[in-house]
Amino acid sequence: MGAGVNSIRQGFKHLLTYFARKKIVIFVLLLLLIFGTITFSIILPHSHIFEGSLTVEEMSFTYNGQKPKLFLQSMRSISNLESEGVQTLNFAGKFKSESFPQINQLKDLKIELNSSESKLIIAPENSKLPSEIDLTKLLLQPNTEVAGLNYDSYNKKLAFSLEPQPTSKSGNKPNDLKLYLGDQPLKVSLEGYKLPAIKLPNRSEQTALEFIYLPDNKELNLELAKDTNLYITTTAPSKNDLDQWFRGKIVTKNVNFQRIDMSGDIRDNLAISTIIEGKIRMVEQEKDIKDNQFLMGENPNSPLNIELIRHLQIVPNKGLEVRIAGKTQQIKIGLDKDFPVSSIQGSWLDGILPRDAIIALFSFGAATISYLLSVLIDNISKSTSKP
């Protein structure tokens, strides 16, 4: 054991003596360390802020803010509003129904929509008159998923689903939808309902209920505490109206620009991109996104880490325009998630120097390392060849 330790000590002394005599070798090694570190910092991935502008047919996201967020506002002249899901409604005013005359003498009517397939439809009684129904605002509670958001320009219909996931911060507070009903009589249709205060004939609650409603209160508040599908049709909105519907700066997570084509077998479900066109930028690099291409992060099986929807609006006859921002190490683009055709990757040094300077520095560093290695090898070869 002692002989082995002495041998190591002697070898180390000889190495120090060699380096002491060969100061050029120490200098070359120091330069190699410096330029090697610089080159490694250029290659080493690092997260950076990205931004993009996309036009899409459909999208989904989860609201990731801390407080209720205004999502929709100022949707005027609604010709038909349909909701599907569980909720409780309280109407006050005058009612008229030919199929259920029991409600004609009531001044208040409580309605319970008690299943995910329950439906509520509100529309003007006279479809030939301009509608006075407005959606004044829709507030999203934290951790609510907005799924399948899309706009049908031909039918002038906005559709999406609200899927709340209560947290310790939001509790069981519902998403809040407020309507202005106007002065006109309304036609209300119900499916899958209960009328707690009225005894109806057997199976009547499985029959669609339709009545004319003249409200006492011009405002109606819908509390959407459960999963709800919404379909909102308007009458010929102007471009100025469309531009005002959505409120921007939505803090998000799990943003997706795709829909799933289901075959009945979960293993055979097919993801279809809903992107029409767009651009994405990060670390002074910009890439175009073409029709039906996917936008991915480091992991193709998870969505790109989009943290903010800066702006959202409808582009008539095209889709939704969405401006996004977030932070990631890498962006991948391609028609197939497993085979991206282009990418943007940020390095640690991208946060310090411009991209052109990094490219020049990398070229210079690689050339310098090659030269220094050749000098080092040549110097060592000459030293070992001497007696």
Judging by DSSP bridges, how do beta strands 108-113 and 186-191 pair with one another? unpaired
**Residue 37 corresponds to which tokens in the numbers above?**
């570190």
Residue 373 predicted with pLDDT over 80: no
User: How far is C-alpha 213 from the geometric centre of its chain's CA atoms?
Assistant: 39
Measuring CA to CA, how many Å separate 314 from each of 71, 251, 332? 14, 19, 26
Residue whose entry in the numeric block shows the structure tokens 């199976």: 203
pLDDT, the chain, mean: 81
Q: Check residue 185 and give its pLDDT.
A: 93
Phi, psi of 239 (to 5 degrees): -60, -35
Residue type at position 215: P
Question: What's residue 265's pLDDT?
Answer: 67
As a whole number, mean pLDDT of residues 167-195 equals 85
Mean pLDDT, residues 34-43: 62
Helix or strand run (H / E) with residue 121: strand 119-124
- Closest by CA to 321, choosing from 241, 242, 254, is 242
Q: How far is CA 380 from CA 137, 328, 376, in A?
A: 77, 44, 6
Q: What is the mean pLDDT of residues 280-294?
A: 91
Task: Report domain extents, the chain.
Answer: 2-44+350-385, 46-67+239-346, 77-236
Whether residue 358 is predicted with pLDDT greater than 60 in this model: the reply is no
Q: Using CB atoms within 10 A of its CB, is residue 106 exposed (0-12), middle (13-18) or buried (19+)? A: middle
Give the pLDDT band (50/70/90) at residue 193.
confident
Name the pLDDT band for 37 (thresholds 50, 70, 90).
low
Please tell me the least confidently modeled range out of 156-170, 288-302, 331-345: 156-170
Between 85-94, 137-146, 270-279, 372-381, the lowest mean confidence (pLDDT) is in 372-381
CB 333 within 8 A of CB 280: yes
Residue 266 is predicted with a pLDDT of: 67
Average pLDDT over residues 111-132: 90
pLDDT at position 130, please? 87
Percentage of the chain beyond pLDDT 70 is 73
- Per residue in 15-28, pLDDT tens? 545 554 555 556 55
Is residue 95 within 8 Å of residue 111, measured between CB atoms? no
Cα–Cα distance for residue pair 285/296, rounded to 1 Å: 16
Average pLDDT over residues 57-62: 95
**pLDDT score of 148 more than 60:** yes
Whether the per-residue pLDDT at 349 is higher than 70: the answer is no
pLDDT at 10: 55
> In Å, how far from its chain's centre is CA 384?
64
Could you read off the pLDDT of 257-271 as tens digits, one per residue? 998 887 666 667 788
DSSP 25: H
Q: Compute CA distances 68 → 64, 136, 339, whole Å.
A: 10, 15, 39
Give tens-digit pLDDT for 61-113.
999 999 999 999 989 999 999 999 999 888 999 989 887 888 888 888 888 89
The answer, yes or no, to whether residue 361 has pLDDT greater than 60, is no
* pLDDT value, residue 346: 73
Res. 170: pLDDT tops 60:
no
Greatest extent of the chain over all pairs of C-alpha atoms, in Å: 119
Identify the pLDDT of residue 329. Answer: 87
Alpha carbon 60 to its chain's center: 6
42: nearest Cα among 377, 302, 369: 369
Q: Tokens for 168?
A: 């310790």
